[in-house]
Structure 1
Protein backbone atom coordinates (compact mmCIF):
# COMPACT_ATOMS: atom_id res chain seq x y z
CA UNK A 1 0.00 0.00 0.00
CA UNK A 2 1.44 3.31 -1.03
CA UNK A 3 1.34 6.41 1.05
CA UNK A 4 -0.78 8.05 -1.65
CA UNK A 5 -3.52 5.41 -1.36
CA UNK A 6 -3.55 5.44 2.43
CA UNK A 7 -6.78 7.10 3.48
CA UNK A 8 -6.71 8.48 6.95
CA UNK A 9 -7.51 11.38 9.17
CA UNK A 10 -4.73 13.45 7.64
CA UNK A 11 -6.26 13.12 4.17
CA UNK A 12 -9.59 14.45 5.34
CA UNK A 13 -7.95 17.32 7.17
CA UNK A 14 -5.86 18.16 4.09
CA UNK A 15 -8.95 18.18 1.87
CA UNK A 16 -10.75 20.49 4.29
CA UNK A 17 -7.73 22.78 4.51
CA UNK A 18 -7.50 22.91 0.71
CA UNK A 19 -11.17 23.81 0.51
CA UNK A 20 -10.66 26.62 3.00
CA UNK A 21 -7.72 27.96 0.99
CA UNK A 22 -9.17 27.54 -2.47
CA UNK A 23 -12.75 28.37 -1.73
CA UNK A 24 -16.00 26.72 -2.74
CA UNK A 25 -15.35 26.92 -6.49
CA UNK A 26 -12.88 23.97 -6.28
CA UNK A 27 -15.19 21.71 -4.25
CA UNK A 28 -16.00 19.43 -7.19
CA UNK A 29 -12.31 18.80 -7.97
CA UNK A 30 -11.46 18.15 -4.33
CA UNK A 31 -14.37 15.77 -3.91
CA UNK A 32 -13.55 13.96 -7.19
CA UNK A 33 -9.92 13.51 -6.16
CA UNK A 34 -10.86 12.20 -2.74
CA UNK A 35 -13.52 9.92 -4.24
CA UNK A 36 -10.94 8.49 -6.68
CA UNK A 37 -8.61 7.66 -3.81
CA UNK A 38 -11.44 6.01 -1.88
CA UNK A 39 -12.41 4.01 -4.97
CA UNK A 40 -8.82 2.79 -5.49
CA UNK A 41 -8.59 1.77 -1.84
CA UNK A 42 -11.87 -0.16 -2.05
CA UNK A 43 -10.78 -1.91 -5.27
CA UNK A 44 -7.44 -2.84 -3.72
CA UNK A 45 -9.10 -4.28 -0.62
CA UNK A 46 -11.63 -6.21 -2.74
CA UNK A 47 -8.79 -7.68 -4.80
CA UNK A 48 -6.94 -8.70 -1.64
CA UNK A 49 -10.05 -10.42 -0.27
CA UNK A 50 -10.59 -12.19 -3.59
CA UNK A 51 -7.02 -13.50 -3.56
CA UNK A 52 -7.41 -14.66 0.03
CA UNK A 53 -10.64 -16.47 -0.82
CA UNK A 54 -8.96 -18.19 -3.78
CA UNK A 55 -6.11 -19.39 -1.56
CA UNK A 56 -8.55 -20.72 1.03
CA UNK A 57 -10.61 -22.52 -1.61
CA UNK A 58 -7.50 -24.08 -3.17
CA UNK A 59 -6.23 -25.19 0.26
CA UNK A 60 -9.58 -26.73 1.20
CA UNK A 61 -9.84 -28.60 -2.10
CA UNK A 62 -6.33 -30.03 -1.69
CA UNK A 63 -7.18 -31.09 1.86
CA UNK A 64 -10.28 -32.92 0.68
CA UNK A 65 -8.29 -34.84 -1.89
CA UNK A 66 -5.68 -35.79 0.72
CA UNK A 67 -8.46 -36.90 3.09
CA UNK A 68 -10.00 -39.08 0.37
CA UNK A 69 -6.63 -40.66 -0.45
CA UNK A 70 -5.98 -41.32 3.24
CA UNK A 71 -9.40 -43.00 3.52
CA UNK A 72 -8.72 -45.25 0.55
CA UNK A 73 -5.28 -46.19 1.90
CA UNK A 74 -6.79 -46.83 5.34
CA UNK A 75 -9.30 -49.29 3.91
CA UNK A 76 -6.53 -50.94 1.85
CA UNK A 77 -4.40 -51.37 4.96
CA UNK A 78 -7.36 -52.32 7.15
CA UNK A 79 -8.37 -55.34 5.09
CA UNK A 80 -5.14 -57.31 5.70
CA UNK A 81 -5.09 -56.12 9.31
CA UNK A 82 -8.56 -57.64 9.67
CA UNK A 83 -7.78 -60.90 7.87
CA UNK A 84 -4.51 -61.81 9.64
CA UNK A 85 -5.78 -61.84 13.28
CA UNK A 86 -9.02 -63.55 12.33
CA UNK A 87 -7.19 -66.37 10.53
CA UNK A 88 -4.12 -66.67 12.78
CA UNK A 89 -5.88 -66.76 16.15
CA UNK A 90 -8.96 -68.34 17.66
CA UNK A 91 -10.41 -65.03 18.83
CA UNK A 92 -8.89 -62.19 16.81
CA UNK A 93 -11.84 -59.84 17.26
CA UNK A 94 -10.21 -57.68 20.00
CA UNK A 95 -7.13 -57.15 17.80
CA UNK A 96 -9.31 -56.21 14.83
CA UNK A 97 -11.32 -53.75 16.91
CA UNK A 98 -8.17 -52.09 18.25
CA UNK A 99 -6.67 -51.89 14.75
CA UNK A 100 -9.79 -50.29 13.24
CA UNK A 101 -10.10 -47.86 16.15
CA UNK A 102 -6.51 -46.80 15.44
CA UNK A 103 -7.25 -46.37 11.74
CA UNK A 104 -10.38 -44.35 12.55
CA UNK A 105 -8.42 -42.17 14.99
CA UNK A 106 -5.77 -41.38 12.37
CA UNK A 107 -8.45 -40.43 9.84
CA UNK A 108 -10.33 -38.32 12.40
CA UNK A 109 -7.16 -36.50 13.43
CA UNK A 110 -6.30 -35.76 9.80
CA UNK A 111 -9.85 -34.55 9.07
CA UNK A 112 -9.80 -32.24 12.09
CA UNK A 113 -6.65 -30.53 10.82
CA UNK A 114 -8.31 -29.91 7.46
CA UNK A 115 -11.81 -29.01 8.65
CA UNK A 116 -10.80 -27.43 11.96
CA UNK A 117 -11.74 -23.94 13.05
CA UNK A 118 -11.34 -21.42 10.22
CA UNK A 119 -9.61 -18.10 10.83
CA UNK A 120 -11.60 -15.04 9.93
CA UNK A 121 -9.56 -12.15 8.62
Structure 2
Protein backbone atom coordinates (compact mmCIF):
# COMPACT_ATOMS: atom_id res chain seq x y z
CA UNK A 1 0.00 0.00 0.00
CA UNK A 2 2.90 2.34 0.69
CA UNK A 3 3.99 2.30 -2.97
CA UNK A 4 0.47 3.25 -4.08
CA UNK A 5 0.32 6.11 -1.55
CA UNK A 6 3.75 7.40 -2.63
CA UNK A 7 2.74 7.32 -6.28
CA UNK A 8 -0.45 9.27 -5.55
CA UNK A 9 1.49 11.79 -3.48
CA UNK A 10 3.87 12.35 -6.40
CA UNK A 11 0.90 12.79 -8.75
CA UNK A 12 -0.71 15.31 -6.38
CA UNK A 13 2.55 17.26 -6.06
CA UNK A 14 2.91 17.34 -9.85
CA UNK A 15 -0.71 18.46 -10.27
CA UNK A 16 -0.32 21.27 -7.73
CA UNK A 17 2.95 22.39 -9.35
CA UNK A 18 1.31 22.40 -12.79
CA UNK A 19 -1.57 24.48 -11.40
CA UNK A 20 0.86 27.07 -10.05
CA UNK A 21 2.65 27.23 -13.41
CA UNK A 22 -0.41 27.16 -15.68
CA UNK A 23 -2.77 29.24 -13.57
CA UNK A 24 -6.36 28.77 -12.45
CA UNK A 25 -7.80 28.54 -15.99
CA UNK A 26 -6.44 24.98 -16.26
CA UNK A 27 -7.56 23.99 -12.76
CA UNK A 28 -10.58 21.92 -13.80
CA UNK A 29 -8.58 19.93 -16.35
CA UNK A 30 -5.80 19.28 -13.83
CA UNK A 31 -8.24 18.12 -11.17
CA UNK A 32 -10.01 15.85 -13.67
CA UNK A 33 -6.68 14.34 -14.68
CA UNK A 34 -5.70 13.74 -11.06
CA UNK A 35 -9.05 12.18 -10.20
CA UNK A 36 -8.71 9.89 -13.22
CA UNK A 37 -5.28 8.77 -12.00
CA UNK A 38 -6.67 8.10 -8.51
CA UNK A 39 -9.55 6.14 -10.03
CA UNK A 40 -7.06 4.07 -12.03
CA UNK A 41 -5.05 3.36 -8.88
CA UNK A 42 -8.18 2.32 -6.96
CA UNK A 43 -9.34 0.03 -9.77
CA UNK A 44 -5.88 -1.54 -10.04
CA UNK A 45 -5.76 -2.13 -6.29
CA UNK A 46 -9.24 -3.67 -6.26
CA UNK A 47 -8.28 -5.95 -9.15
CA UNK A 48 -5.19 -7.05 -7.20
CA UNK A 49 -7.34 -7.79 -4.15
CA UNK A 50 -9.85 -9.71 -6.28
CA UNK A 51 -7.08 -11.86 -7.76
CA UNK A 52 -5.63 -12.51 -4.31
CA UNK A 53 -9.07 -13.54 -3.03
CA UNK A 54 -9.55 -15.91 -5.96
CA UNK A 55 -6.12 -17.47 -5.34
CA UNK A 56 -7.04 -18.04 -1.70
CA UNK A 57 -10.28 -19.72 -2.74
CA UNK A 58 -12.66 -17.20 -1.23
CA UNK A 59 -15.26 -15.13 -2.99
CA UNK A 60 -14.15 -11.58 -3.80
CA UNK A 61 -16.02 -9.16 -1.57
CA UNK A 62 -17.05 -11.88 0.90
CA UNK A 63 -15.50 -10.01 3.81
CA UNK A 64 -17.35 -6.80 2.94
CA UNK A 65 -20.61 -8.67 2.50
CA UNK A 66 -20.24 -10.27 5.91
CA UNK A 67 -19.58 -6.88 7.49
CA UNK A 68 -15.94 -7.63 8.28
CA UNK A 69 -14.46 -5.51 5.52
CA UNK A 70 -10.84 -5.42 4.45
CA UNK A 71 -8.68 -3.16 6.58
CA UNK A 72 -6.41 -2.41 3.63
CA UNK A 73 -9.34 -1.36 1.46
CA UNK A 74 -10.81 0.86 4.18
CA UNK A 75 -7.41 2.37 4.98
CA UNK A 76 -6.73 2.99 1.28
CA UNK A 77 -10.10 4.65 0.85
CA UNK A 78 -9.41 6.89 3.86
CA UNK A 79 -5.99 7.90 2.51
CA UNK A 80 -7.35 8.65 -0.96
CA UNK A 81 -10.21 10.65 0.55
CA UNK A 82 -7.81 12.77 2.59
CA UNK A 83 -5.43 13.25 -0.34
CA UNK A 84 -8.30 14.43 -2.53
CA UNK A 85 -9.67 16.63 0.26
CA UNK A 86 -6.67 18.95 -0.01
CA UNK A 87 -7.15 20.18 -3.60
CA UNK A 88 -10.95 20.02 -3.35
CA UNK A 89 -10.88 22.20 -0.23
CA UNK A 90 -8.49 24.66 -1.86
CA UNK A 91 -10.59 24.89 -5.01
CA UNK A 92 -13.85 25.25 -3.09
CA UNK A 93 -12.45 27.92 -0.77
CA UNK A 94 -10.76 29.82 -3.61
CA UNK A 95 -13.90 30.03 -5.72
CA UNK A 96 -16.66 30.37 -3.15
CA UNK A 97 -15.03 31.04 0.22
CA UNK A 98 -16.48 29.33 3.26
CA UNK A 99 -19.54 28.15 1.31
CA UNK A 100 -17.32 26.38 -1.21
CA UNK A 101 -15.29 24.80 1.57
CA UNK A 102 -18.45 23.53 3.28
CA UNK A 103 -19.82 22.11 0.03
CA UNK A 104 -16.49 20.37 -0.67
CA UNK A 105 -16.40 18.77 2.77
CA UNK A 106 -20.09 17.90 2.57
CA UNK A 107 -19.31 15.93 -0.59
CA UNK A 108 -16.31 14.26 1.03
CA UNK A 109 -18.34 13.24 4.08
CA UNK A 110 -21.20 12.06 1.82
CA UNK A 111 -18.93 9.83 -0.27
CA UNK A 112 -17.34 8.42 2.90
CA UNK A 113 -20.76 7.73 4.39
CA UNK A 114 -21.93 5.94 1.24
CA UNK A 115 -18.72 3.86 1.18
CA UNK A 116 -19.19 2.91 4.83
CA UNK A 117 -22.85 2.03 4.27
CA UNK A 118 -22.03 -0.14 1.23
CA UNK A 119 -19.32 -1.99 3.13
CA UNK A 120 -21.73 -2.80 5.95
CA UNK A 121 -20.42 -0.43 8.61
CA UNK A 122 -23.92 0.78 9.54
CA UNK A 123 -25.75 -2.51 9.38
CA UNK A 124 -28.01 -3.06 12.36
CA UNK A 125 -27.79 -6.34 14.19
CA UNK A 126 -30.93 -7.86 15.63
CA UNK A 127 -30.73 -9.13 19.23
CA UNK A 128 -31.10 -12.76 18.08
CA UNK A 129 -28.33 -12.54 15.45
CA UNK A 130 -24.90 -13.99 16.39
TM-score (norm 2): 0.39
TM-score (norm 1): 0.41
Larger Rg: 1
